[in-house]
Structure 1
Amino acid sequence: MNEPLSLILILLVSAVLAVALFRKLRLPAMLAYFLVGVVLGPHTSGLLPDSDANREFAEFGIVFLMFSIGLEFSLPQLYAMRKKVLGLGGSQVFLTLGIVMGIAKLAGLDWSAAFVIGAALTMSSTAIVSKILAERVDLNSRHGRLSIGVLLFQDIAVVPILVLIPALGVVGTNLTDVLGLAMLKAAGMLLFLFTIGKWLINPWFNLVAGQRSRELFVMNVLMVTLLLAYATKLAGLSYALGAFIAGMLISETKFRYQVESDISAFRDIFLGLFFISVGMLLDVQQIVNNIGAILLVLFALVLFKAAIVTLVVRLVKYESGVAIRTGLILAQAGEFSFVILALGVEQKLVSGPALQVILAASLLSMVIAPFLIQYNGRIARKLVQSYSRNSGQVVQDIDDVGKHLHNHVIICGYGRSGQYLARFLREENIPYIALDIDPSRVLEAATAGENVMFGDAARRVVLEAAGGARAKALVISYADNRAAMKILHIVQENYPQLPVIVRTVDDTNMEALREAGAAEVVPEILEGSLMLASHALMLLGVPLNRVVKRIRIFREERYKLFKGYFHGISDAENEDLANQQVRLHSVIISPGTFAIGRNLADMHLENFDVEVKSIRRPNSNGSQPNEESILAEGDVIVLLGQPTGLTNAQNALLIGRVATK
């Protein structure tokens, strides 16, 4: 086994074992990569040399990280959250950066090193925060929305930081001139790409996608990303900036989700290499020698960032409890912290003990972040008694209303669907109580006399206060499957006899919701299709009683007629979801096809988990299939199944590659 191959093998085995262990412990995978870098790096075992080739290869990790961030960057979302993003996010970034730079300068560092360290510590972890908030169904809470707003501004702030750091690394020139020129180059490139580039990217991607080759499509994405990264590097900026711009450009096209799906494997592998390379920078001996300073910086970092965020949230008139929760959520360093530090090391702006202390403290802050985020509510209630009283008051207010209700309906979510349902219930004199976490909506509706209360239906105490034990039904009126699952779990655990009706977007998660305890699942798309069909039939002269009968049969058969859909080009915008759904697919039996003269039983299509919905023949509206149906030239076989099964079934029909699972 030659030297390069043995190194790759050691790296792969170590990474797989470490990531598997950290996943088991519910810790971020990036921490596993850091550990591999530390253990195998030049300062510990020395198995991975600190060579220029390794560092350059790891730069691809930064490129793919920035490309992914650019791809997820949403200008409409930015505009919708502009007050939170620009106000809160801007205040947090500038205050943190300014104060950390001042402290670093007092500690004896020059301005360039102080800027790199300040910029690194300003960032928080988008990956950790968004993942845990999503798991806790807290993304739409007040502290969740505030946290996401600040993270969005941090993502924006990375762009000028990536422009400034290479400029700071230029020796022997006037700093003001260099910074001014760098900003001018960046502005010019952004202007060019978002005018000319945006005009070119759509037709080019349409042309490539039209070739229907996944390999070509992936290569095209890599080509565009690396071309723009190289262009910004030639302009004296950084690879990362070009990759970020490439992601933003592609995010404006209809291929955004397909691109994200196709490059995910490359991105994760290269990101792993990048974080391993950062781990290689850590010198265990220096960490041991400076452990006191590292723990001090860790404590100061978490406390300081939490305090800054709490302060800026309080300044925009949120109560102390919400401010503290937001501060605790954003108190850690982030992925961009290591990108900035790595760029600072490359430009020789930061090194030695200062680098080791900041790297180790940032890493440790991300290790403790999941625990801080998990218990942010409890900590806030311990620190602020009024917030604890307010939280208790919310439950008490709901209980004051709920205790007088019997055989009522609990409506979880008071958006349009919830409000329409409430009107129907009111017309039928059926008592109800609605719960919603949007304070402005609750205030408006309650002022108008609606029976709606502020409260999170995903909390057991809230459902108990709303009279869950005495309710006749519970309706989840918002289409959030994760939140629905959480509520279903609470209901099954505490009120197993309470029927739950769940609204969902489509039929993707119907079975999972039913298994979780939902009595009825109402998919919006299917119900919309049902209403469209009924109106069309009546307009075409079909008698009303026949239309009503059709609707009744439809519901009795539990949406069987509408299960599946024909897939089209526009569905590529949500390819991950589409790949999990059953769909309809037509196969034409053309001359020379294997299936001609054979019956359906001979084809064994059930082996592919595929159902034959109908056989359509020339000059015929189609027939219901049976196993003895003989297939003939010109037949159109309508199949129902998942994409892989449909492909295999089509191959079996056309070329005779009949295989069992």
Structure 2
Amino acid sequence: MNASVGHPVTTIAKEALAPVLNTDAQGYYIFIIVFLLASAVVVPIFQRFKVSSVLGFLLIGVLLGPDVMGRLEKIWPAFDAFDVMRSHTVHQLAELGVVFLLFTIGLELTFERLKSMRRLVFGLGALQVALCSLALTGLFLIMGQSIVASIALGMAIALSSTAVVIPVLADRKALKSASGRSVFAVLLAQDIAVAPIMITVVMLAGGAAGTAGGSLGGLLALIPALVGMGVLVVGGRWLLRPLFNTVAFSNSRELFMAACLLCVLVAGQISVMAGLSMGLGAFVAGVLLAETEYRREIENMVEPFKGLLLGLFFVTVGARLEITAVLDQPALVLGLAAGLILIKAAVIYPAARLFGMNNRSAIETAAVLGPAGEFAFVIIDQAIDHKVLSADLGQTVIVASILSLFAIPFLAAAAGRLSKSIAKSGETATTVAPETVSEADKVIVVGFGRVGELVIDMLRMHQIEFLVIDINPQVTQRARAAGIEAWYGDASMPDFLHSIGIARARAVVVTVSNPAFTDKVVQAVRAMREDVHIIARARDASHAQRLYQMGATDAVPETIEASLQLAENTLIDLGVPMGLVLASVHERRDVFRKMFGIRKPEAIKPDMPLAAVALAMAENHAAEKQGL
């Protein structure tokens, strides 16, 4: 049979599917459907069995790659659609996941906090990059590579994976540990080092070609990089807050989301135009926005995009793993993957100890920073394009780097178990770690109107820590101008409450005058915390009763309290003895409490201040819920 005719079943299938598969767009649609299906079905299965979701996405990428789905296209033409996995468009979209990750990392920092972290960022981080680059350069020189190729590969593999390490530590709830904070500082230093490394590769290319133009061009590339950073910092300080002020006044979540995406993409493009990485520009934008009252709301807006795009990034990384390359040279690829992990870990461990970390934290830090990072692919591709190293060698190193990425969840788990065994020996935790967001238990005050200001004055008088939430940008600006920790956001949204620290809140005081919004806040808070005190402002007696049914610890009807205060002042002005007036007011309050079904605590006395009465009511309500 003529080979050009092909198998009859395959021929018929191609003719039947021709209208569907004749455009690249259909391939993208099929890929997107498969990716979303994997995100909704496969990854939750991994999480159910307490396996890192990162590993799940990487394995999905391997399945969608050339060595699995790519081979099936010879049998069934529908699998031709997975060729888009190797397209430049998909890889560009996937890299946005790293960009959004760096943006959210920037949101957790301020310039003051970065200054407080400078010892670990520019000390431990810079030392790690330099020493690992030297050690890995020596490894490739021993393997017989040229000095130029060895330097380029050493610098590329010296970097670790922000995109994989941070989610893995988050899954293990280790980001706020001493080792997690130190890992974050080192990763931040590595992200800053990406641009100088890429410039160095260009200079190496000029040196390898024997011309001074390449080196001079590399040095001149520093000028637009510095200008770009200056534009980002200065322009961001002038423009970002007015932009979000304008959008916040529209009271539209869609426009607010659009402003968030605009900020990330514009900052990233300015950074690219300056010769830097897109992620570094997004990181700077995040740091600038971290100083504004919109930080928490922005975090909630970009979180879905970050999670989905990071998943796509991991899938594309997994798709680059060529199983055939591993099978062709198993000793070289596997040995190189294991070697780079061991060399980097051997360098990072003593460096971490040198900077004051204890044995436990140093082991955890070395374990997760040992594998290569996602920027290794970018730097190695650039080196191949500039003829610094051969394509075959570059591809081999890329495959080994991908294998090391697969090892990160396992290394983190192994380091965690080892750390627990060390902890049992009685070793104390290290005190050297970057400054983090305050985790003090605070009272959350929802609303900063006239009532909210009075509540805050009383909290200040008794030296109780608090923070303010308000949906009005003018109000949050006024609060911040007064030196109050205030955040713009919707207090009825569970995600926002979680980001603001509802898990650690001592109490929530709802002072807004909108009954419907008050109801939503009380319901959202009670759903997230069964033990927190909720003191809410009520419109009238019926609204107060409804708030009690929703789980409020105490509801204060403004009409009743105002009426009682008016009656109290009137009786005193008419000459009625103050003791009798106060007693009658308390009796009237007891009548309303009985109407609401609330038993008067024995701790309440007739002459107690209202603040003490509210506290006693709250403690009584909490005790009743606990069955005391």
Q: Same fold per TM (> 0.5)?
A: yes
Q: What is the deviation of 1:308? A: 0.6
Q: 1:31 to 1:320 in 2, by over 3 A?
A: closer
AA at the equivalent of 2:406: L
Partner residue in 2 for 1:264: 303
Alignment of structure 1 residues 570-609 onto 2, 5 Å:
570-572=486-488, 576-578=498-500, 580=502, 582-587=508-513, 600=542
Of the candidates 435, 442, 450, which is equivalent to residue 506 of structure 1? 442
Greater alpha carbon shift after TM alignment, 340-349 vs 235-244: 340-349
Partner residue in 2 for 1:29: 53
Q: 1:233 to 1:320 in 2, by over 3 A?
A: closer
Q: 1:323 to 1:215 in 2, by over 3 A?
A: closer
For the 8 Å contact 2:373–2:401, the answer to whether it is kept is no
Q: Does 1:357 align with 2:273?
A: no
Q: What is the deviation of 1:313? A: 3.9
Instruction: Note the alpha carbon deviations across 1:460-514, whole angstroms, 9 max, x for none.
Output: xxxxxxxxxxxxxxxxxxx998xxxxxxxxxxxxxxxxxxxxxx61368xxxxxx
Of the candidates 552, 556, 580, which is equivalent to residue 614 of structure 1? 556
For the 8 Å contact 1:294–1:360, the answer to whether it is kept is no
Q: What is the deviation of 1:226? A: 1.2
For the 8 Å contact 1:303–1:331, the answer to whether it is kept is yes
Q: TM-score, normalised by structure 2?
A: 0.62
Give the whole-Å Cα distance in 1 for the aligned partners of 2:191 and 2:37: 33
Local SS of the residue matching 2:230: helix
AA at the equivalent of 1:584: V
For the 8 Å contact 1:116–1:350, the answer to whether it is kept is no
- CA RMSD, Structure 1 to Structure 2 (Å): 4.8
Q: What is the deviation of 1:199? A: 2.4
Give the whole-Å Cα distance in 1 for the aligned partners of 2:409 and 2:431: 34
- Identical columns (%): 27
For the 8 Å contact 1:566–1:583, the answer to whether it is kept is no
Q: What is the deviation of 1:17? A: 3.1
Structure that is richer in helix per residue = 2
The answer for unaligned runs of 5 or more in structure 2 is 1-16, 21-25, 71-78, 445-454, 477-485, 490-495, 517-538, 566-587, 597-628
Give the whole-Å Cα distance in 1 for the aligned partners of 2:541 and 2:277: 63
Give the whole-Å Cα distance in 2 for the aligned partners of 1:621 and 1:112: 85
For the 8 Å contact 1:146–1:326, the answer to whether it is kept is yes
Of the candidates 128, 131, 135, which is equivalent to residue 95 of structure 1? 131
Q: Does 1:175 align with 2:214?
A: yes
Q: TM-score, normalised by structure 1?
A: 0.59
Give the whole-Å Cα distance in 1 for the aligned partners of 2:150 and 2:242: 45
Of the candidates 48, 58, 65, which is equivalent to residue 41 of structure 1? 65
Give the whole-Å Cα distance in 1 for the aligned partners of 2:161 and 2:107: 17
AA at the equivalent of 1:613: A
For the 8 Å contact 2:372–2:401, the answer to whether it is kept is no
AA at the equivalent of 2:32: I
Of the candidates 151, 158, 172, which is equivalent to residue 122 of structure 1? 158
Local SS of the residue matching 2:556: strand
For the 8 Å contact 1:67–1:247, the answer to whether it is kept is yes
Alignment of structure 1 residues 165-564 onto 2, 5 Å:
174-313=213-352, 315=354, 326-334=365-373, 336-337=375-376, 351-352=391-392, 353-377=395-419, 437=429, 505-506=441-442
Instruction: Note the alpha carbon deviations across 1:162-220, whole angstroms, 9 max, x for none.
Output: 55568878998832122112211111111232224322222232222232222111111
Q: Does 1:104 align with 2:47?
A: no
Q: What is the deviation of 1:265? A: 0.4
Give the whole-Å Cα distance in 1 for the aligned partners of 2:38 and 2:459: 56
For the 8 Å contact 2:232–2:281, the answer to whether it is kept is no
Instruction: Note the alpha carbon deviations across 1:55-92, whole angstroms, 9 max, x for none.
Output: 23223223323323433444333322333333322221
Give the whole-Å Cα distance in 2 for the aligned partners of 1:239 and 1:439: 34
Partner residue in 1 for 2:88: 52
Instruction: Note the alpha carbon deviations across 1:343-390, whole angstroms, 9 max, x for none.
Output: 7688887744424432333223314222332134478x6xxxxxx9xx
Q: 1:607 to 1:215 in 2, by over 3 A?
A: farther
Local SS of the residue matching 2:512: strand
Q: What is the deviation of 1:222? A: 1.0
AA at the equivalent of 1:244: F
Give the whole-Å Cα distance in 2 for the aligned partners of 1:79 and 1:199: 21
Give the whole-Å Cα distance in 2 for the aligned partners of 1:70 and 1:531: 31
For the 8 Å contact 2:195–2:277, the answer to whether it is kept is no
For the 8 Å contact 1:92–1:309, the answer to whether it is kept is yes
For the 8 Å contact 1:117–1:358, the answer to whether it is kept is no
For the 8 Å contact 2:317–2:402, the answer to whether it is kept is no
Instruction: Note the alpha carbon deviations across 1:241-288, whole angstroms, 9 max, x for none.
Output: 433332233233332222122101011111111221222212121122
Instruction: Note the alpha carbon deviations across 1:568-621, whole angstroms, 9 max, x for none.
Output: 63233875444857541434699xxxxxx9983899677866688233239636
For the 8 Å contact 2:202–2:215, the answer to whether it is kept is no
Give the whole-Å Cα distance in 2 for the aligned partners of 1:227 and 1:338: 24
AA at the equivalent of 1:90: A
Greater alpha carbon shift after TM alignment, 147-156 vs 572-581: 572-581
Q: 1:506 to 1:189 in 2, by over 3 A?
A: same
The answer for unaligned runs of 5 or more in structure 1 is 382-387, 396-435, 441-478, 482-503, 509-526, 536-558, 591-596, 630-661
